[in-house]
Amino acid sequence: MMERIHSLVAVVPCNNLDVSEAFYARLGFTERLGEHRYDEYRMLSDGQGGEIHLARAVDGWLVPGRNPFAIYLHTEKVDKLAFSFGRKAEDKPWGTYEFGVSDPDQTLVRVGWPTRLRGKN
């Protein structure tokens, strides 16, 4: 039987691609090497299988204070990333150790790792 391999990529709308790209670089996502740079679209990777694509927002998509978009980054580097954003991670009742931060367009970015797996590597 042939194994199926697939991936899922979040496409995040943003008003300023350069500002958003700098924000996601703080989370470890940079432009994929060898990729063509488009005026309205950026393809970022963390080099470990995670990808985020940034797309210039269509007028009216991102209303200040009313952004409905969110993404979740699973990583063991929760404390390191929390510190870099001046945040503190905490254990949540649903079994994750996490923190949240908003990107420049107020997309909620949660960063976490299963509590039961903390310190096992």
Could you report the per-residue pLDDT of 45-65, keeping only the tens digit for each?
998 888 999 999 988 888 877
Lowest average pLDDT, out of 27-36, 43-52, 66-75, goes to 27-36
Tokens 């310190």: give the residue.
119
pTM (2 d.p.): 0.86
Structure tokens that stand for 36 in this block: 């063509």
- CA angle centred on 115, ends 111 and 117, rounded to 5°: 100
Tell me the mean pLDDT in the region 11-17: 93
Q: What's the topology of domain 10-59+67-117?
A: 2,3-Dihydroxybiphenyl 1,2-Dioxygenase; domain 1 (3.10.180)
Note whether 104 and 16 are within 8 A (CB).
yes
Its sign, for the CA torsion 86, 26, 107, 15, is positive
Residue 55, pLDDT score: 94
